[in-house]
Every structure is written in C-alpha cells, then in structure tokens.
C-alpha cells in the first residue's frame, strides 16, 4: 500500500525554524556564560573574590587578622601599614582587608561559616549607623552570585526571608540565566577597561586583600554639603524604627557570638566619618547603638568624630592621608588588645 506524500506546511516550517533557532541561541548563551562570564565573575566580583579567598586560604603559623565591613573599611584600611607597625613591635600578623562595598551584617552572614573555618585569630568589624539602622533588603543579584556556594547555620537561615533563601539556593541553570545582567560589565572590562584601566569600575582592587582602595579627588566642602543635603539624615524619625532588635542587629550579634564561641577575638570599630556628616547623627541614635554593643560585651572603639574633614575624600570615605593615620591607629589598638 502506498502512503500519500505528506508535505510540511510553510507555517510549520517557520515555527520549527524559530524553535530550533531559540534552542541554538540558548545553548550558545549558556556556553558564553559558563566559559566567559562565570570565570570572570569569580575574579572580578568582590563578593565572590572574598569567598574564593576563604576557600584558598591555607592555615599558617602566622596569626591572621580579618577586617570586614563596607567600603569604609575597604578604603580606610591599609594592611601593609598595620603589618609593618606590628612587626616593629615584634608581633607578626597576616592582615587581610575583606571588606565589600555596601555590605551589611545580614549579607555578611553568608561568609560566617567560611570565616570560622579559616580560623583567623582576630576579626575586626567596621560598622556605621547607616548599615545597622536599616531594613533587611539585599539586592537580588548579590544573593544570586552566592547561590549554592555558601553554608548557613540555623540561626542565620532564620534571619533571611523566604525570597532571599530562594535566591541563595537557585538551580544552577536559573543562576546562569540570571548572570546575563553582567554581560555589559564583562564587555566593558574587555574593551574600555583595557584602554582606560578602572575608568568603568575598580576592577584592579576587587581581588586585592591588602590595600584595596582607589585614590580619588577630594570633594570640596560645598560638594560634601550637597551630598549631605541630598541624603536622608541619620537622626530622622525613620531611624527610630530600628532602635529595637532588628534583623541587622540580630545578624551582627550572631556573627560576634559565633566568632567568640570559636575562640576568635572580635573588635568592633565605629567607623570615622567626616565631621560634616557626623553633625547629622543624633545623640539618641548614638546612645542606642552603644547600648546595643554594650549588651554584647564586645570590645569596641568609637572613631566617628576622631579625624578632621580633610582626612576624607567624601563624607564617609577616607583619603590617602586619613587612611594612613587610621591604619596606624588600628595597629595600636591591636597591639593593646591582643597579647601575643
């Protein structure tokens, strides 16, 4: 019996072509992300660079000091100065600046297990009112980067909301699809950044754990005042909503408690800010903050109003002069607090 010829209609041909083109494009995209974007992120996204530092950090006989916090620590601490100062006092330390821009205690919980495993002798935590007296929001992309790369203990898990936990446990394919947001950054890195290094972003400093700062021009007093006027004041009524046991406070408390349980010395530094900025911080906020630190019995030092305005390139970040003086002062604190 002879079967009649069946012809594929033009419509089906077009649909099949489109379908195969989509599948082919998706495969090409996954290969592009897997072969180029993901390896680039591992070495150029600060959160991943820090995680990789922990995983490759080999135990040594030299005591280790970790500095964690926001860009204020990142731009304010020069570990070479601290190591040299301590060496001059016959105290040998390996110092690492592991700060991450726009960090928060909640986000730093993602590193707690790794910090403990690498057994530092001292962890110095730089904090400021802005990061403590705020909500628990974390940019989705920052959590997706860490998906399936971290371990959270039970207390830490309970501090993240359901959405955040989902982002930290994405399917690898979903995570790779989400990494499309970094394609432009990658293209900038391999093109513009090669011609004008660090003109687009501070790539040179993202894998630097000693002195990861980028020198910039100092703002004038007028420019600093404009920044203060454009940002919400620290002592407004909104801040009072966070005077209780907020997620950020509970996260920092858990970090401190876990580090101390593992025989790691913890020192908290209330970071220095430009005196112009300090004027916007209310005494009630300060009192609440220091009562909170006192309740944990942690060693802390208040540097908020320690330095003049010309030590800052903007209202919160130190310039080269300020960084050098601050690093020397921190070395003195380490020498005073740690009898090694």
What is residue 112's predicted lDDT score, i.e. its pLDDT? 98
pTM for the full model? 0.90
| Continuous segment of H or E residues that includes residue 98 | none
What is residue 328's predicted lDDT score, i.e. its pLDDT? 98
State the Cα–Cα distance between residues 266 and 97, nearest whole angstrom.
Answer: 15
What is residue 60's predicted lDDT score, i.e. its pLDDT? 73
- Cβ atoms within 10 Å of 277's Cβ, excluding its own: 24
What is residue 198's predicted lDDT score, i.e. its pLDDT? 65
Residue numbers of the chain with a pLDDT score lower than 50: 233-235
Q: In order of start, what are the domains of the chain with their CATH numbers? A: 10-337 (3.40.50.1110)
- Residue environment code for 18-41, b if the CB has 16+ CB neighbours within 10 A, otherwise e: eeeeeeeeeeebeebbeeebbebb
What is residue 235's predicted lDDT score, i.e. its pLDDT? 47
What is residue 48's predicted lDDT score, i.e. its pLDDT? 96
State the Cα–Cα distance between residues 165 and 144, nearest whole angstrom.
Answer: 10
Nearest to 8 by CA among 16, 173, 270: 16
What is residue 50's predicted lDDT score, i.e. its pLDDT? 96
- Cβ atoms within 10 Å of 297's Cβ, excluding its own: 9
Nearest to 130 by CA among 22, 261, 222, 228: 228
Tokens 């070479």 correspond to 80
**Residues facing residue 97 across a β-bridge:** 67
């Amino acid at each position: 019996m002879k079967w009649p010829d069946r012809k594929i209609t033009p419509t089906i041909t077009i649909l099949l072509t489109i379908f195969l083109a989509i599948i082919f494009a998706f495969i090409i995209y996954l290969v592009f992300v897997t072969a180029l974007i993901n390896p680039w992120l591992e070495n150029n996204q600060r959160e991943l660079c820090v995680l990789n530092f922990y995983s490759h950090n080999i135990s040594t006989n030299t005591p280790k000091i970790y500095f964690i916090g926001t860009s204020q620590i990142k731009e304010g601490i020069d570990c070479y100065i601290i190591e040299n100062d301590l060496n001059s006092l016959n105290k040998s330390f390996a110092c690492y600046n592991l700060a991450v821009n726009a960090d928060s205690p909640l986000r730093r919980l993602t590193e707690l297990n790794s910090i403990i495993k690498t057994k530092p002798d001292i962890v110095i935590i730089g904090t400021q009112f802005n990061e403590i007296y705020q909500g628990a929001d974390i940019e989705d992309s920052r959590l997706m980067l860490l998906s399936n790369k971290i371990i959270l203990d039970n207390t830490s898990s309970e501090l993240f909301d359901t959405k955040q936990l989902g982002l930290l446990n994405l399917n690898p394919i979903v995570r790779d699809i989400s990494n499309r947001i970094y394609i432009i950054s990658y293209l900038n890195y391999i093109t513009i950044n090669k011609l004008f290094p660090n003109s687009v972003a501070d790539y040179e400093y993202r894998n630097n754990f000693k002195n990861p700062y980028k020198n910039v021009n100092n703002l004038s007093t007028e420019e600093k005042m404009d920044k203060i006027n454009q940002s919400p004041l620290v002592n407004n009524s909104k801040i009072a909503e966070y005077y209780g046991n907020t997620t950020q406070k509970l996260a920092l408390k858990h970090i401190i408690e876990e580090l101390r349980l593992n025989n790691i010395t913890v020192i908290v530094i209330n970071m220095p800010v430009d005196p112009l900025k300090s004027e916007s911080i209310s005494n009630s906020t300060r009192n609440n903050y220091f009562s909170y630190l006192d309740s944990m019995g942690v060693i802390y030092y208040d540097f908020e109003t320690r330095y003049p305005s010309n030590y800052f390139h903007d209202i919160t970040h130190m310039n080269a002069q300020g960084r050098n003086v601050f690093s020397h002062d921190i070395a003195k604190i380490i020498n005073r607090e740690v009898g090694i």
